[in-house]
Structure 1
Amino acid sequence: MSERQKNLFIDFKNSSKEDWVKKATSDLKGEDVFEKYNWNFDDKITLEPYYDNSDLKAIENIEAFQNRLILKENPTGENRYWENLQKIIVTDSKTANKQALEALNNGADGIIFDLTRAQGISLTDLLDDILIDYCSISFVLGADFKEHLAAYTDLIDSKGIDHQSVSGIIFLSEGHQSPDNYLEAFKATINLPGLLSLSIMSTEQTASSAIAHLLHSTVSVINAFEATQLDIHQILSKITFGLQVSTDYFGEIAKARALRNLFFQLSQAYKADGFNPENLHIHAISPAWTEEKYQPHANMLKATTAAMSAILGGCDSLLVEPEDYSNTLMVRIARNVSSILKEESYFNKTNDPAAGSYYLEVLTDKLARTAWQKFQEKVKQEKEEIQ
């Protein structure tokens, strides 16, 4: 550091948190600034109006979880990567194939084919001309998921595609997300290591409850696999968490970060010594949002801030849902949100922008502690019910 840089702030006095409190109290004519301006996040977390470096000293292992997502061997110079996924609701194989090719040629890194409304779908027609080994192919499946997975693996083998190059996520639709079904999906994709078949979702409204639910569901799934004698690392490598991203900008950043930290803690309880925080795959979903006063582009505004939260929080894949899947303009706008944040806003150039932020680090820590407590209460309640 040059002398000029050292002297840059020489005329500015360092101020402590105590100095800020004194000034704020004076301006408020003696009122307690922390009592007057604190606010509640989630359902049990109280946040203060001011944080500084002194607040980070109480957070254990804070640096151990920072900057974990950097692409150390990426030749393009990008520090972060996430997949920009587009969902296609399939009713006709050839129509959906055309939509998928258009999306892949215009910014999407992968496709999520929703087959829950389809009948008599031909995967050969659906995936025609799609380079399965060069993009992410995911499916939303219902009761017939085993038949679809068998057909997909047969198609991969018939094309001579390297199993190691296949990637994507298998989403089991609501009502089919049971430990037994997860086990069947796992078995069907065991030879495709990049196809994540244990996609665990939560519909809980508060951040801490959503995290606790995801962790508890994961434990149920892992415990259901005990009789299979599978290696814990193999199970963990197939897990992805589906996080719905709301309009709470900072809260959603903290939610993804807290989930990654807690899942790492959970993995250690299963003695998965080689598993690291960055190994967890987080799939972020920005549901369609309509607010009359912000129309006609309310969802575009919400999707942008939601996508920013998901990326800053450390998601590995991102789905921005349009207001209307039949409206090609809305579909294109939703798909382009991720592309613009990457190509024009350079969100892929910094691996962890939230690291060291006094407010976000404290929020992440408080949220993680609250979620872990709720998770433990769920486990305790379940044990009592069994007894």
Structure 2
Amino acid sequence: MSTFLFDGFETLSPSAWKQKIQVDLKGADYNETLLWKSNEGIVVKPFYSLEDRNNAAIDLPERGFRICQSIFVDDIGISNKLAIDALKRGANAIQFTATSSFDHQNLLKGIDLSETTLYFHLQFLDPAFVKLLDQYCKNADVYYQIDPIGHLARTGNWYTNLTADINHTKEIVEHIDCSLHVNTSIYQNAGANTVQELAYALAHTNEYIEIFGKSIIEKMHYSFSVGSNYFFSIAKLRAFRILHRSLAERHGVKSAKAHIFTQPSLRNKTIYDYNVNMLRTTSECMSAILGGSDTISNVSYDSLYHKSNEFGERISRNQLLILQKEAYLQEAQNIANGTYYIENITKQFAEKALEVFKQIEKGGGFLKQLKNGSIQKKVQESAKREQEQFNKQEIALLGTNKLPNKEDRMKDNLEIYPFLKQNNSKTLIPPIPPIRLSEQYEKHRLETEYYDREQ
């Protein structure tokens, strides 16, 4: 490539740029004025250069992302029709979520298993059923999202008890590939910051390695949620692949490659001015693509307050189709390579998460720190800090705590309860429940809707 257009320009070093900026600041301190530090301690600079590249080896997907439709298994016939319709309309992966065993033959009837990637998010442990299901799907690309430790973290209880859950999971993973899952969305949707989320994902993984042995690494896969910070979300997914590779190599497993299933976060979604959720999820899906997700399942703009409906699901799927087909991002998993800013913050995330991971391991491991409440405490501290920032409008959700539509009314439109439900049942450990930033604000506004109308 010719360089004649650039030959007339003097090459400036980063120190020269910084010196020029310092002059233009007219005495103001460079560090205090222009360096921004995130809640995680990530330092963001006003400019980046070649020196910020780190050329880290990242095991990104070899092919582009899959578009996934998430379907809850209740009525088998309806779930089957929804899956077939989604596949006809552009999806090439389906996630079935179930709380108990189901008629898998009728659920999968008419679905080309050789062309469809399947995710079974099973919120129960039944080795006999899973083996039967896997036998039926033996020619398909299948991932079983089975995560007993994640279930403990989210609900505060095992499915049965520690021994039974481990034994049932062991029976599954010994016979079936891609059968163990780490659901890091639990921590993100509860308010954990990005460094915590990465560290917990790594510690969560290491706990399974301690239980099932190092060979389990090759049977594991991951779920992440991505939020509003576009570049941080890209860097988070890339940083995890670096950390995963490092952990695998530490255990002598060099062939393991992280498979990442990504969804937009629910933490920043709102019921007021709900159409803004489409803007949020579009940005988040794009960061998931550029971050190198294997599969992406979008969240419907009205999923907080409406039951699953054809319009909402179609819009969410079309958002991904537009990014894939019209924005030409089908093979965009490598686009962030060489981006000075993203590579710099990716390195910072990986280094800081590794420090937290080491602290967890020194403290006895992830499961022990879940049991003694240390993980829950850290997540609560992060969530509290973020909530205070939202309350002060330092974190803005457009249409909610920033530029709200005073005429917006939602009280009569709630088909489902959009807030965290209090669980009064006895638990072994404090659970890590999902909670949205705008919940208290929305509760107050719902209570005053009729009063405001009368005024």
Q: Give me the TM-score of the superposition, normalised by structure 2.
A: 0.70
Rounded to whole Å, the distance in 2 between the matches of 1:212 and 1:365 is 14
Rounded to whole Å, the distance in 1 between the matches of 2:3 and 2:352 is 42
Alignment partner of 1:338 is 2:320:
yes
Shift of 1:286: 0.9
- Greater displacement, 95-104 / 167-176: 167-176
Alignment map for 1:111-122 (pairs within 5 Å): 111-116=94-99, 121-122=102-103
Alignment partner of 1:375 is 2:357:
yes
Alignment partner of 1:317 is 2:292:
no
Aligned match of 1:188 in 162, 165, 172? 172
Q: Residue type matched to 1:30 in 2?
A: G
Check conservation: 1:86, 1:111, Cα contact below 8 A.
Answer: yes
Alignment map for 1:80-229 (pairs within 5 Å): 80-116=63-99, 121-154=102-135, 156=136, 163=138, 165-172=140-147, 174-175=154-155, 176=158, 181=165, 184-185=168-169, 187-188=171-172, 190-193=174-177, 195-201=178-184, 202-204=186-188, 205-226=192-213
Shift of 1:16: 2.3
Aligned match of 1:35 in 15, 21, 32? 32
Cross-structure match for 2:48: 51
Alignment partner of 1:268 is 2:249:
yes
Cross-structure match for 2:60: 69
Check conservation: 1:253, 1:312, Cα contact below 8 A.
Answer: yes
Alignment partner of 1:236 is 2:213:
no
Residues 82 and 326 from structure 1, CA distance in 2 versus in 1: closer, same or farther, beyond 3 angstroms? same
Could you give the per-residue CA deviations for residues 108-160 of structure 1, whole angstroms, max 9, x where no partner exists?
111111112x6x73222211111223211222222354354144135x1xxxx
Q: Give me the TM-score of the superposition, normalised by structure 1.
A: 0.82
Cross-structure match for 1:74: none
RMSD: 2.7
List runs of 5+ in structure 2 lacking aligned partners: 370-455
Over the matched positions of the two proteins, sequence identity in percent amounts to 26
Check conservation: 1:182, 1:221, Cα contact below 8 A.
Answer: no
Rounded to whole Å, the distance in 1 between the matches of 2:123 and 2:195 is 28
Q: Residue type matched to 1:344 in 2?
A: E
Check conservation: 2:127, 2:171, Cα contact below 8 A.
Answer: no
Q: Number of residue pairs matched?
A: 350
Aligned match of 1:250 in 223, 231, 235? 231
Cross-structure match for 2:416: none
Rounded to whole Å, the distance in 2 between the matches of 1:65 and 1:131 is 35
Cross-structure match for 2:277: 299
Cross-structure match for 1:75: none
Q: Residue type matched to 1:167 in 2?
A: V
Q: Residue type matched to 1:134 in 2?
A: E
Could you give the per-residue CA deviations for residues 225-266 of structure 1, whole angstroms, max 9, x where no partner exists?
14xxxxx34x22211121111111111111111111011111
Could you give the per-residue CA deviations for residues 270-304 of structure 1, whole angstroms, max 9, x where no partner exists?
111334xxx211111113453467x3422211111
Rounded to whole Å, the distance in 2 between the matches of 1:179 and 1:43 is 36
Alignment partner of 1:25 is 2:4:
no
Q: Residue type matched to 1:310 in 2?
A: A
